[in-house]
């Protein structure tokens, strides 16, 4: 439960970072900080807590199809997609920050998808 609360807090910080998009440098620094927090949480959850990791649990449940925890599989799907979208946003955001303002519309479009998927990650984390 503690990890779920931390996950939700990081999401709120992401939303604050998004609200600062008009101040590009502040926005970029906040979003990079959120990325580091997200990665740190992932490492702690997957490698340092006493329960089996989500990936191990998912692999085990997929191996036993009758016992498959659909929410866990959906949560892992959201989590993997969030990591991919983090990379997309960091790369495109860096290009925008470096003066390629023509990339801003795509960065904004992918930001909406990122927020939707990240919200799915937070919601399903409470359900797993």
Mean pLDDT (10-residue bins), the chain, 128 residues: 93 97 95 96 84 63 64 90 96 95 95 97 92
pTM of the predicted structure, to 2 decimals: 0.85
pLDDT digits (tens, 9 = 90+) for 11-34: 999 999 999 999 999 999 999 999
Domain count, the chain: 1
Residue 79's domain spans which residues? 2-127
How distant, in Å, are the alpha carbons of 24, 26, 30, 31, 71 from that of 120? 26, 26, 21, 18, 11
């Amino acid at each position: 439960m503690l990890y779920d609360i931390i996950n939700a807090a990081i999401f709120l910080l992401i939303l604050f970072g998004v609200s600062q998009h008009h101040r590009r440098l502040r926005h970029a620094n906040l979003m990079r900080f959120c990325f580091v927090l997200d990665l740190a949480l992932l490492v702690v959850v997957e490698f340092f807590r006493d329960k089996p990791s989500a990936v191990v649990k998912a692999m085990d449940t997929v191996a036993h199809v009758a016992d498959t925890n659909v929410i866990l599989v959906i949560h892992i799907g959201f989590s993997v997609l969030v990591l991919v979208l983090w990379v997309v946003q960091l790369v495109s955001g860096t290009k925008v920050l470096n003066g390629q303002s023509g990339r801003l519309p795509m960065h904004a479009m992918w930001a909406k998808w990122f927020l939707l998927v990240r919200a799915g990650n937070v919601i399903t984390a409470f359900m797993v």
